[in-house]
Structure 1
Amino acid sequence: METLGGLLQQARERQGLSLEQIASRTRIQQHHLQALEEEDFESLPAKVFVKGFVRSYARSLGLDEDNALQLFLTSSSNFYDRAQEEQQDIQVTKQAAHRKQFNWNLVVILFVVLGGVLFYLLPGQQETLPPTIEPEAPLLSNGKSKEAILEPTPSVEDSPVSVSPEAAVDPPLPLSSPSPSVTPLSPPPASQELSPILPVSPAPEKASGADESLVLEIEATQLTWVVVQSDDQPPHEALLQPGQKVTWNANTQYLLTLGNAAGVIIHLNGQLQGPFGKPGQVVRDIRLKS
C-alpha cells in the first residue's frame, strides 16, 4: 500500500533533490519535510498546517496535490484520532479535579458557617472570678485591730499597757515622695522652616533614531503559520495563535509566506498591508519593502 512518506521520498530521490533544496523551494523547514517523509506526525504542527505542507511538498515535486493530501489523511487518521481522545481525557480529568476541589472548599465553608452559628446560639459561659478576700487585720488582746494602732494620734488611755513617756513613739510622719524634676522641652524655633520641594522637570525625550529600519508587525486573528525572511537572513517559521503578535526588524525588505492569508493583520512601519488572500489560502513570496 502506497504511503505519503514513501511517495514524497521516492519522487524527491528520482529527481535528485535534497531536503535542503525542497526547503528552499517551499519555504518549509527541513525537519518538517523529513517528518513528512518519515510520517512522524508528533513532530509536526497542527493538522491544518500539515495539510498546507503536504500540498506545497507535492507541488514542488510535480505530484498530484489531491492524491498526496488523501494519502496524508489516511496515514494520519489513527494518530489524530488518538490525539483527540487524549485531549478529551485530559479535559475530563481537569473537570473532575476542579469539581473535587470545589466540593472540599464547600465542605470547609459549611463547617466554618456551622461553627459560627453554634457559637452565637449556645449560651456563653461567662468566667466568674472569685472575689478577692482581703486578709483581716490580726486582733490584739483588747480586741482592737492593727489599724487602730497605726492611727496618727493614738490614745494612751485605751491601751492596757503602761508606756513611759520616754518610750512613747511619735506617730510616723507621712513620707513625701520627691517629685522628679522635669526639664520641659523647648519647642523648635519658629524661624526654622522646611525648604520647599522643587518640582522635578521631566527628562527630555530622546530624539528619534537616525537609523532607519523596516519594522514588520504581524498580528494573528486566526490560527496560522508564517515564514518570514528578513533581508538576506535565513527564514524563520512561526505558528501564531489568535491574538498573538510578533515583530521583526530589517534594513531593506521582507519575504513572507502565509499559511492562512486571511488570518493575519500586517503593518509595515505602522502602515496596514494587504489583503493577501482568502481564509485557509497559502500565499508565498510576498515581498514587502519601503
Structure 2
Amino acid sequence: MMRKLAEELKENRLKKEITLQQLFVKTRISIKYLEAIENGNFDVLPEVYLKAFIKSYASAVGMDEEAVIRKFDAAKSGHAYQEKSEEEVHHAVKEERPLPPKRSKKEYQSIDTSSPISEDDSSLQQSGRNNFIVAGIGIVLFVLIVAAYFIFFHHSAKEIVTEKPYEEYIENNKPKTDSVAANANTPAQNPQAADSLTLKVKTRDLTWVKITVDSTHVSEFNLQPNTEKDIKAKKNFKVVIGNSSSVQLLLNNNPLNFTGGKGTVRVLRIDSSGIASSRSVIKSSKDKNE
C-alpha cells in the first residue's frame, strides 16, 4: 500500500510535467528525499518530517493534501483507503428515496386490519429492514476500527513527539534574537546569576531539537545540515533530539560522550558534570511498506 501511494504521487508529478528540480524549487525539499518518497522508501526520515514532506509534495503537484495524508495513515496501518464510508453511501440513498405520506391517527384506526398488506407496504417494510441492517453493519465496522486503533497504536507509544505542520517548521528556521545574546552587553549586577553552562549543538543533517533550560525556558528549532547553535543555562538542560545519529554535543567546548541512532529520538539530561541521563523514545508507530 505504501508503494501504491508512492506511485500515485510520482504519476501526478509526471502528468503535470514537473521535474524533480522544479519540485525542489517549489517545496525546498532535497531531491534525495523527493526520490526516496517516489520510490516508497519511507524509512529514510522520522515520521514527523516524512508527513510534512509528503503534504508539501502533494500540494505542489495539485493533489488534495489532506486526502493524501489520510491515504498515508491508512496504508501505514494496513487498511485500504476508501473515499466514502458505508454510512455516507447509505445516508445518500436514504435521502434520495421519497418517504411515504404520514397518516393521522384516525386514518390508522379506519384501516381494515383484516385486509392483506399491499405490495407497496411490503416493499417499504423490507426496505426499512435492509436499511437497519446496513446501518448496523456500518456501526460495527466503525467500532472495530476505533478499537483496532487504540489496541495497536494508542497504547504502543510511551512518549510521542508532537508533529507540527511543515509551515511551522519553516517559521522555526527563521533567525530569532536570542534573549541571552541581547542581554550580553548588560553589566551583570549579580555575578552568581550569570549563565555558567554553554551547550553547543552541531549537526550533519536536518535535525529537530527541543531544549528546556533550567526546567523553565523551552526552545524548539530545526538545524539545517552542517550548522550549529549555542544554548546557555545556569544549572542544566533537558534535550530532545529527533535525528540523533547526526548530532554532536559540546558542553563549554568539551565534547560529550554521546552516540545516537539513525532516525532515533533521544532524550538527554545534561548538567555541569556532563550527561546525567540518556534514553531513547519509542516511536508512535512503524512504517509498513508493500
Instruction: Provide TM-score, normalisation by structure 2.
Output: 0.31
Report 1 or 2 for greater relative contact order, CA contacts < 8 Å, sequence distance ≥ 6. 2
> Of the two, which has the highest radius of gyration?
1
Instruction: Provide TM-score, normalisation by structure 1.
Output: 0.31
